[in-house]
Amino acid sequence: MKRRDFVRAAAVGVAGIRGAGDSGIRIAPSRRSTWLLVPMDETQGDHLKAYGVTFRVLERGSKAEWFLNYRNGSFLLPADTTTQRDAAVAGVSATLLDDGQAAEIRAELAQGNMDAVPLEKAPKVAVYAPPNAAPWDDAVTMALQYAGIAFDKVWDPEVIGDRLRTYDWLHLHHEDFTGQYSKFYLTYAGAPWLQEMVDRNQRTARQLGFANVPAEKKAVARTISAFVERGGFLFAMCTATETLDLALASDGVDIAASFADGTPMDVAAADKMKWDRALAFQNARLELSPSMAVYSEIDGHQVNSPDRRQPLGAFTLFNFSAKIDPVPTMLVQNHRQVIPDFYGLTTSFNKTALKPGVTVLADEPGAPWAKYIHGERGQGTWTFLGGHDPEDPQHQVGDAPTDLSTHPHSPGYRLILNNVLFPAAKKKELKT
């Protein structure tokens, strides 16, 4: 095929791109298609890659819109050749629209619990992960790589060195900010990966001038909190949620076991916690046993405590008013309202431990815990999602990696990607 033929094919014959509506009728040549509607309902060919296509539109300096609650959170993109080609290569379903058809949809948005949120600028994304982190053991890293969203990895030296100022969005996954190596120290004693983790953390703490790993991680947690205060967007999953808050609230309090810092945990630590410094949680009792991979009663499921472990159920996303509460509305856009739950070192958040003012985005009806929560701190926001991997509910150390090409419609992973695009909407005046 000649190059000009290829370019022509890219412009008009792309996969999954249809004319107006779902009829597959192509638009007449006299009507100019200026928009590409990416539906996010059941007709979408690859929900996760749709976020990547939208993100890359923003990266190229173009604008997009997020149609909240319209066909489960569709995107309106410019119908330029590059975007159409990108959608075709990614297998993302899209429909060509002219200006009149786009106006009709806007009129429909105005009538119901829907809204159009402009997306203006691709956020600069950082993922907090140690240099030797396994590439397929972090749901956000996997989602970003699958969707094709560019990101940098940062770790303690970059955080302490104030590099977070150069990013808009930061993700934390299963880091233990209490500095206790996920409390795997006794269970996996002798495992080479744990030894490597301990050595690396201790070396880094020394290099950065801290007496021990728990002290260093507390400093990292404070820097992350300051990043949010300044206007950053923080998204955390799994045990990073709980331990970040424990590290923030335990300033001056020894909550680490002796294997981590040489001294046993202060048994009266719970009474000395400064919960006002935490982002989401308060007044939680702490786990005193160094051999139990549990930190506190914040986690509702307690997966590593045989006596206290709760079975997995399903969580339900809340509905919000798109026009009044666009931020939580963005965070819950999905083609499924009820999503099977998944374990993590921290799986869920006991509602009794939530601070007043925290917005619950999803919970398990009838259960005392929330799954997905959101809040503000200073100029910025944070969002916590419990659990480790939405498509590996029983995740164990050493499990085979999740292959997202077999889960292109994962509703759990969509929640992660909602968070990545949400900062792009920041410039619109938000009511929440």
Partner 1 sequence: MIRVGIFALVALGVATAASAQDATTRALELERRGDYAGAASAWRTHLAARPDDLSALMGLERALTPLGRLAEMIAPMQAAVQHDPSPGVLGVAIRVWTAARQPDSARVAVERWAALEPASEMPYQEWGLSAYSARDRTSAKAAYVLGRQKLGRPDAMAAELGQLAAAEGDYAGAAREWSLALRKVPGYRGAALGILGQVPPAGRSALLRELGKDGDLAGDRLAAALLIRWGEPLAGAKRITAALTAAGNGGVDALQEVLDDLRTSSTAEHYAARAMVLELMGDRAQGPQRARIRLEAAQAYADAGDQTAARRLLATLAGDPAATPSMAASATSTLVSVLVDEGGVEEADRRFRELAPILGAEDRQRLALRLALGWIRTGRLAQADSLLVADSSVDAQAVRGRIALYRGDLALARTMLTEAGPFTGDRPAATERISILGLLQVIEEDSLPALGDALYRLERRDSAGAATALMQLAPTLAPDHGGSELLLMAGRVHAGTGHNAEAERLYRTVVEQGVPASAAAAEFALAGLLLKTARKELAIAALEHLLVTWPTSAVVPQARRLLDVARGAVPAT
Q: How far is the CB of 49 from partner 1 (least distance, A)?
A: 9
Query: Which of 10, 27, 360, 430 forms a contact with partner 1 (CB under 8 A)?
Result: 10
Closest CA to 338 of 320, 316, 369, 362: 316
Stretch that binds partner 1, among 86-94, 109-117, 175-183, 235-243 (CB under 8 A): 86-94
Q: Which of 138, 176, 287, 341 binds partner 1 (CB under 8 A)?
A: 287
Looking at the DSSP assignment, which residues form a beta bridge with residue 18?
A: 95
Contact segment (CB under 8 A) with partner 1 among 67-75, 170-178, 300-308, 313-321 equals 300-308
Site track 303-322 with partner 1 (rule: CB under 8 A), x = hit: --x-xx--------------
Q: Does 110 bind partner 1 (CB under 8 A)?
A: no
Contact yes or no for 125/131 (Cβ under 8 A): no
CA 373, 120, 170: angle at the middle one, nearest 5? Answer: 40
- Minimum CB distance to partner 1, residue 115 (Å): 31
Q: Does 285 bind partner 1 (CB under 8 A)?
A: yes
**Can you tell me which residue has the tokens 């869920």?**
348
Considering the rule CB under 8 A, would residue 107 count as an interface residue with partner 1?
no
- Residue nearer to partner 1 on the CB measure, 62 or 145: 145
Write phi, then psi, for 128 (nearest 5 degrees). Answer: -80, 115
Regarding 195 and contact with partner 1 (CB under 8 A), the answer is no
Q: Are 116 and 65 in contact (CB under 8 A)?
A: yes
Can residue 292 be called a binding residue for partner 1 (CB under 8 A)? yes
Q: In terms of DSSP bridges, do strands 369-377 and 359-363 run parallel, antiparallel, or are they unpaired? A: antiparallel
Residues 6+ apart with CB under 8 A from 67: 73, 74, 75, 76, 105, 109, 114, 115, 116
Q: Is 146 in the site for partner 1 (CB under 8 A)?
A: yes
**What phi-psi label fits residue 65: left (phi over 0), alpha (psi between -120 and 50 degrees) or beta?**
beta
Query: From CA 257, how far away is CA 187, in angstroms rounded?
Result: 14
- Interaction site with partner 1 (CB under 8 A): 1, 6, 9-10, 13-16, 85, 88-91, 135-136, 142, 145-148, 258, 264, 267, 285, 287-292, 294, 297, 305, 307-308, 401, 403-405
